[in-house]
Copies of this chain bind each other. A is one copy, B any other.
Amino acid sequence: MAHRPAPLLALFSDFGSAGPYVGQVMAAWAAAAPEIPRVALFSESPAFDVEAGAHLLFAFTRTLPQGSVIEAVVDPGVGGPRGVVAVSADGLWFVAPDNGLLAVVVQRARTCAAWRVAWRPEAEIPQTFHGRDLFAPIAAALARGGEPPAPCAAVDLPALLRDVSDPAFRVVLVDPYGNLMTGIRASDVPPETRVAVGGEILGAAPRFEACAAGEAFWYANANGLLEIAVNRGSAAARFGAKVGTPVRLVRS
């Protein structure tokens, strides 16, 4: 089963899978770079929540093949003065608004370089959908050519970090099963640690099957985040939790 994985064009956004925006970015990529596999990696990052997006973006891109290009869009400031950045981090490319969305990627990269991209399309573009009209062609150019389109200029990494907390001691996503993903890297947390959420204190379990149905626990999820779950149930319902609910580590 040996095979050199193909690099991808991947979209990470808060566009919502029900809306028209993901389809239009996919169409733009299919038109501009039909030979490159494209994936709507994730479309339900919490709307306007740059910090939650920064943690999920890092987590959800850990298993993408080297050379992949990820367009990341959580962009409440679209059309304003914020710039556009392209970051090469540990063999992956990221294109995003310069608003902190790449903060966790940059902070946790072993090797990293960043450019501010001043390239703009020749035709005038609307100021409300840079995901399709600005980030998508930059991402396609990166995937085809391997470098950001000119003009662009190197930028210092600390400038990209903004006000994003890492770790973020809160829920950053409720998944469709009602599991609670947090902005905490599980590998930073010893397994004997207990976790406080919604008035309860939970221990760790290595896997769902180790718990009785209805039992709550935390575990290292498959994307490296500390996640709170109820076996065959909804942790969101059990704890009345949503994006933003505080999560605390209780060290023995």
Contacts and interface: CB of A to CB of B under 8 A. Distances in A.
Copies of this chain in its oligomeric complex: 3
Given A19-B176, A80-B209, A232-B48, A132 B27 contact: no
8 contacts: A3-B32, A5-B32, A6-B34, A23-B42, A26-B39, A27-B39, A31-B37, A34-B37
Interface residues of A, number: 71
A20 interface: yes
A203 to B, nearest CB: 17
A169 interface: no
B6 A77 contact: no
A19 B78 contact: no
Nearest to A119: B1
Interface stretch (A9-17, A83-91, A238-246): A9-17
A126 B220 contact: yes
A79 to B, nearest CB: 3
Given A15-B176, A176-B15, A222 B44 contact: no
Nearest to A220: B126
Interface stretch (A59-67, A104-112, A155-163, A191-199): A59-67
Contact of A64 (B21, B27, B127, B149): B27
Contacts of A141: 1
Contact of A79 (B1, B48, B175, B207): B207
